[in-house]
């Protein structure tokens, strides 16, 4: 009786790795839109708009007012004015030099933006900036 010796297979089975990669791809495809979700705001256009350069030392605090007049802090859920002010003050205590910027929709009433800025000043915020977008020639 002659026994055939089996030759060892030196190829690696990559099928399980491909399966794992496909599962990860599907997970990332589903979760990535959730991570970049933000409040839809049409910023007013101006001729001379400065760009915000990323500041490594300080983190921007962005407050958004949408067309319906709802107020958001860094694109979270809609907040009441009291909750917003409490959270802004808490963030400023952690990082005192953080610039505060207001993203107001072009359709929101001017009075709501002014009330927000006045409330921030009453709460002790010294400087508040407004976000706009550059005017495009059409």
Task: Decide if 32 is inside a domain.
Answer: no
Task: Decide if 39 is inside a domain.
Answer: no
Q: What's the predicted TM-score (pTM) here? A: 0.60
User: pLDDT at position 106, please?
Assistant: 82
Q: How many domains does the chain have?
A: 1
Helix (H) or strand (E) run with residue 134 in it: strand 133-134
User: pLDDT at position 13, please?
Assistant: 81
User: pLDDT at position 45, please?
Assistant: 62
Q: Which letter does DSSP use for residue 107 in this model?
A: T
Cβ atoms of 39 and 77 within 8 Å: the answer is no
Over the stretch 72-104, which tens digit does the pLDDT of each residue have?
Answer: 888 778 889 899 899 999 988 888 888 888 888
User: pLDDT at position 40, please?
Assistant: 60
User: pLDDT at position 62, please?
Assistant: 87
Question: 91 lies in which domain range?
Answer: 45-134
Task: Decide if 15 is inside a domain.
Answer: no
Residues of the chain with pLDDT below 70 are 1-3, 33-58, 135-138
């Amino acid at each position: 009786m002659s026994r055939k010796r089996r030759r060892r297979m030196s190829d690696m089975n990559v099928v399980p790795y491909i399966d794992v990669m496909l599962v990860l791809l599907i997970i990332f495809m589903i979760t990535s839109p959730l991570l970049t979700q933000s409040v839809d705001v049409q910023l007013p256009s101006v001729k001379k708009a400065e760009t915000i350069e990323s500041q490594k030392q300080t983190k921007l605090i962005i407050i958004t007012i949408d067309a319906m007049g709802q107020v958001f802090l860094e694109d979270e859920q809609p907040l009441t004015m009291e909750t917003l002010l409490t959270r802004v003050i808490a963030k400023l205590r952690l990082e005192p030099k953080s610039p505060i910027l207001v993203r107001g929709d072009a359709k929101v009433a001017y009075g709501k933006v002014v009330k927000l800025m006045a409330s921030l000043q009453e709460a002790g915020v010294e400087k508040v900036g407004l976000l706009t977008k550059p005017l495009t020639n059409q």
